[in-house]
Amino acid sequence: MAKVRQTAREPSQFDLEQMMTTLISARARLLAEDPNIERDEVLYHDMIEGESGDVLDVLDETMRTVVGYEDMVQMAERRIEIIQERARRWQERAERLRGIVHAVFEAGGMTRRDLPDLVASIAEGRDHVEITNETAIPDQYIETKRVPMKGPIGAELRAGRKVPGATLSNKMPRLQIRTR
């Protein structure tokens, strides 16, 4: 195992006890907020070991678990993109094939076809709204969503200018975990 580079002092025995108390309290809170966590055998085992094991070992494993979950989030998001793209392609194919079936029905003068597993028929079409000039539509028929633009607002505030209804928050320390 690689040596851990320390940039801060080693925790005292009192600090270790405080860390263990915090860990046990956090474990109870986590279980209360997400009872399904017991099904995550690796994480649950690491948390139980934390009650009797070395708090720094548990802390190290918990940080690795954070990285693992963040990796799984990225993989799931990528998988969602792939599945959505596949669904879009299938929808396009279905629409093309539907158009072919419709054209063949019309060419043969057919209005209905019964099969053991489906029935296809030519139905009367429905009217639908077609927008020919969006800018000409009166405001009462336009939906607008007010979304603050945080980037430009932040730039103004950081430059010392006031923006009504906005302020910069206090900087909160955040845990940063980087992998090597």
| Three-state secondary structure string covering 89-149 | HHHHHHHHHHHHHHHHHHHCCCCEEECCCCEEECCCCCCCCCCCCHHHCCHHHCCCCCCCC
**For residue range 46-75, what is the model confidence (pLDDT) as tens digits?**
665 555 568 888 888 888 888 998 999 999
Phi, psi angles (nearest 5°) of residue 131: -85, 120
Say yes or no to pLDDT of 135 above 70: yes
DSSP 6-49: PSSPPPPHHHHHHHHHHHHHHHHHHHHH-GGGGG-HHHHHHHHH
The percentage of residues in the chain with a pLDDT greater than 90, rounded to a whole number, is 54
Q: Which of 162, 140, 145, 144 is nearest to 153 (CA)?
A: 162
**For residue range 72-121, what is the model confidence (pLDDT) as tens digits?**
999 999 999 999 999 999 999 999 999 999 999 999 999 999 999 999 99
For position 40, what pLDDT does the model report? 74
Q: Which of 30, 16, 111 is nearest to 59 (CA)?
A: 16
Q: Which amino acid is at 102?
A: H
- CB-count burial class (<10 Å; 0-12, 13-18, 19+) for 50: buried
Phi, psi angles (nearest 5°) of residue 138: -60, 150
